[in-house]
Structure 1
Amino acid sequence: MASNQSKASRTLRRRKRNRKSLHSQIPCLDEEYIALGQWMKRNKFRQQRPFLSAATFKTTGRGLMTHHAIHAGNTIVSIPKHLLITPHTVLTSLQQHITKWDKQLSSQQAMSIFLIAERKKQKSSFWFPYINILPKTYNTPAFFSETELNLLPHNVKSRALTEISKVHTAYKLSANCVRDVWPELDFTLNDFLWAWYSVNTRSVFYKHEMCEEFVDDKNYIALAPFLDLLNHSYCANITASFNKKSNCYEIQTEDTYRKYDEVFISYGNHDNTHLLVEYGFVLPNNPNDVIEFSFESVLEVTVKMKLSHLKEKRSLLQTGEYDRKLCCCKDGLSWNLQVALRVLCMDWTELKNWKTVLQGGSISDSNEQLSKTMASTLIKTSLDRCRENLTKFLDLHCDTMTEHERLAYDYICIERTTLQSALVCVQS
């Protein structure tokens, strides 16, 4: 009897754990996700253990959930080559049009045109089950209104505008190509933005021979249906490559997961500015996150502090390229910023031995103290700018913010937290 009671107790505890685990995610039973699975199965996609399926998670939204425990070294996804959309796939489909043009498109432009053409075919397209589950829009700044763009910090907005300009240039060239050789396709800027960011946010690195018909920009990309449902985590440890033996694109994880956990991949060691501009999301507690300072903003602080011999100091730093990569993170200052501040705070006698700081040495106690003061002033100035940026949201209610407004707000809050941590480090 005692043995049976113990067994029943263990079963009850296990069920409670499973219910607790399942509470944070809901399986995606939408028709389009079921259709995607059926389509892939018809086309020789086979899942061995672990079995993954689409689910909606409380913190990350749509992702992939495992139905089995995963151990380090397991292959979590294996996509057959014929289900990858590569530049060669595109060329096979569009060659009759593209080769008529007297200029070259990039692989990403060609893949974007391909997606637009296949989406217009609707259910008659072989790729329809995949295209049908792609987001209808994205949260990258290219989709922001002018008002929403103005909510971003100046440096992020500047970088976003550069990216937007690049995409608009790509659109104009692509539209010219289609107008000349395939006028019946006829697509808008919004169509192109959707296709471009479908490729930009979801493609994987896939080494292949570059197509001679496209610009040789070394942009080795492919779209991998189902695999691209995996979300990013900065701590995910994976290996992704094409397996010639299985003729599949595979992802192997070095992490462990419990049954019903969300499974992650890593897009790379990116800070939140990159994640926002390129992918349309930000991550709190991102260990790769940094706050950049322009050399001009650093020099502005030296002027306020009335430091001398700035012309000579500026020349020294620029010659050694210590005027770049000036940033801080929650753990303190970058090496280049430490060097720059120490050099800028030297008196004329100390400046003769400025290279001492390159070996991590200290010039003098007074120089160290002045450098700390300058660093604190620089960070406090950025914190004031953060507070000023947050005032733009005073008239916006949390519950009624658009996704883009919320994204800009979250970015600034994360930036403020990083600066506050860096300030504590500097002053300690």
Structure 2
Amino acid sequence: MEQEHPNLESFLSWAAQLGISDSTTRTNQPQHSLSSCLGSSLSVSHFPHTGGRGLGAVRDLRRGEIVLRVPKSALMTRETVMEDKKLCDAVNRHSSLSSAQILIVCLLYEMGKGKTSRWHPYLMHLPHTYDVDEAMWVTEKAMLKAKSEWKEAHSLMQDLMFKPQFFTFKAWVWAAATISSRTLHIPWDEAGCLCPVGDLFNYDAPGIEPSGIEDLDRLLSNTSIPDTIVLNGDKNIMVDAEQLDSHSWRLTDGGFEEDANAYCFYAREHYKKGDQVLLCYGTYTNLELLEHYGFLLQENPNDKVFIPLEPALYSSTSWSKESLYIHHNGKPSFALLAALRLWATPQSRRRSVGHLVYSGSRVSTDNEIFIMKWLSKTCDAVLRNLPTSLEEDTFLLNAMDNSQDFSTFMEITKLVSSRDETCTFLETHNMKDTHSFTDVILSRKARRSMDRWKLAVQWRLKYKKVIFDCITYCNKILDSLLK
């Protein structure tokens, strides 16, 4: 995803001077005598099958051990960048802009300073391109939103007298992709921060959250905890939100710590020397990973699919819309099953069966048969209404993986309905009138677009597979009920 930078050593030396360190000794003092901020716990390494460039363990690491510390003064935030009076005064005159828009402008402003920017070593280390910018899979809605936000920031960029190259939409998209894919959470600014060295960690998904029936059934049995929420208006059925959270693994492996006045990162598991040390940014679906970070996971326990539901279903339960989804393995979420069971129950009987529903039990055999048939039919309709089928996407992805050259790929794609996508690709790269692809060598830009296209196909294939697996799940339940 990123391009290697020849000045990595000077960047790490610069970081050490700012007090960034992977030493287990707690200090935020600048390390002027060190040639690198890494070496005690971590090193920059290449992991071709798991994210490319990342951070590897230089020794055995224990789970929970601190592995990197980045002082607050080294974080690139709106607050630190706006120490520049010219920038601060200009931003204060444009209070209608969002915090994210302002941080994007701050990034471009610092880029425009060149070598005079205090962040220059870090800025030169940032990728020149991202898989999340100008991608073929970006929706029209997202592109329109980006253009609207760019235009809203025009007057601020004019006040700051941006150089032409930093005023373009292309520059805005690059900066927005940087902010989207690399910022980390800080409690005092919703825009987040750019964290030198800390953004070298590659992503690992957190463990599966306790969303199964057994976990909720156990938690639902405890009604003595004072801080509770009421489900569906039934005061006899309560779930403690904090207790639910405490039964899942810590969702992130780093955060800003006030006592250390630094962003601190911890090993999320035991690592052997040479292992890649991964960071969990939080619970993301594959679509969110693709949108914000430009990659997806082959096995993502936090992936989920939402399907269209009847409007009356939402009024039959107090479960939030965000909890009504299908898991990565095709099983309906606990909340979706509960909502469907209540929706399929006559309104006059819902209160009397509430204790069954919220304990994860079936209301009746007829009720379960009805919702499984409805769910299977709805999933089937979703698949049928998509432009391409699961089989066609599988075929296309295999062609992308196994074609020895572009000519072979073009011959294969003539056989599937995705040929409209192929035409769009050819038109985008001025190849539509090419009569023979035998000797065609794709440009670097075309190869990048091909990689992004492949990511799109991978995502939609996984999406369809989840829906297909849900149909299979429903049919298995129906078979057992109708015996």
Whether TM exceeds 0.5 here: the answer is yes
The one-letter code of the counterpart of 1:235 is P
Distance 2:331 2:96 in 1: 46
CA contact (8 A) 1:77 1:227 kept: yes
Match of 1:338, SS state, is: helix
The one-letter code of the counterpart of 2:372 is K
1:198 aligns with 2:189: no
* Counterpart position of 2:229: none
Distance 1:324 1:247 in 2: 38
The one-letter code of the counterpart of 2:285 is D
Match of 2:452, SS state, is: helix
1:45 aligns with 2:45: no
* Counterpart position of 1:135: 127
CA contact (8 A) 1:86 1:222 kept: yes
Distance 1:422 1:239 in 2: 32
* Counterpart position of 1:235: 206
CA contact (8 A) 2:390 2:464 kept: no
Deviation at 1:220, TM superposition (A): 5.1
Which digits, 9 at most, give the CA deviation of each residue in 1:238-288, with x for residues without a partner? 542334454322112341111011111111111112222222221122111
Aligned partner (choices 23, 32, 46) of residue 56 of structure 1: 46
CA contact (8 A) 2:74 2:196 kept: yes
Greater relative contact order structure (CA < 8 Å, 6+ sep): 1
CA separation of 1:410/1:184 partners in 2, compared to 1, >3 Å: closer, same or farther? closer
The one-letter code of the counterpart of 2:126 is L
* Counterpart position of 1:31: 6
Distance 1:420 1:375 in 2: 11
The one-letter code of the counterpart of 1:233 is D
Distance 2:12 2:266 in 1: 21
1:176 aligns with 2:224: no
TM-score by length of 1: 0.74
CA separation of 1:291/1:86 partners in 2, compared to 1, >3 Å: closer, same or farther? same
Structure 1 portions without partners, runs of 5+: 1-27, 150-159, 209-217, 300-313
Comparing 191-200 with 398-407, which one deviates more in the overlay? 398-407
1:293 aligns with 2:283: no
CA separation of 1:185/1:100 partners in 2, compared to 1, >3 Å: closer, same or farther? farther
CA separation of 1:99/1:411 partners in 2, compared to 1, >3 Å: closer, same or farther? closer
More helix, by proportion: 1
Which digits, 9 at most, give the CA deviation of each residue in 1:131-153, with x for residues without a partner? 1121212222x5224xx45xxxx
Residues paired across the two proteins, number: 358
The one-letter code of the counterpart of 1:31 is P
Deviation at 1:76, TM superposition (A): 1.1
CA separation of 1:385/1:206 partners in 2, compared to 1, >3 Å: closer, same or farther? same
Which digits, 9 at most, give the CA deviation of each residue in 1:212-234, with x for residues without a partner? xxxxxx51511110100111111
* Counterpart position of 1:403: 451
Structure 2 portions without partners, runs of 5+: 25-39, 208-249, 407-446, 478-483
Match of 1:46, SS state, is: coil
CA separation of 1:161/1:294 partners in 2, compared to 1, >3 Å: closer, same or farther? farther
Report the aligned-residue RMSD. 3.0
Deviation at 1:97, TM superposition (A): 4.6
Deviation at 1:376, TM superposition (A): 2.0
CA contact (8 A) 1:203 1:221 kept: yes
Distance 1:114 1:344 in 2: 50
Distance 2:340 2:258 in 1: 52
* Counterpart position of 2:331: 332
Deviation at 1:356, TM superposition (A): 4.6
Match of 1:333, SS state, is: coil
Which digits, 9 at most, give the CA deviation of each residue in 1:388-421, with x for residues without a partner? 2763786784156712111111112222332343
Distance 2:13 2:87 in 1: 29
Distance 1:167 1:241 in 2: 28
The 5-angstrom pairing of residues 96-115 of structure 1 reads 97-99=89-91, 101-115=93-107
Query: What is the identity percentage for the equivalent residue pairs of Structure 1 and Structure 2?
Result: 22
The 5-angstrom pairing of residues 277-426 of structure 1 reads 277-295=291-309, 299=310, 315=312, 317-318=314-315, 320=317, 324-325=321-322, 326-329=324-327, 330=329, 332-342=331-341, 345=344, 350=346, 352-359=348-355, 360=357, 361-384=361-384, 388=389, 391=392, 397-399=399-401, 402-426=450-474
The one-letter code of the counterpart of 1:200 is S
Deviation at 1:321, TM superposition (A): 5.0
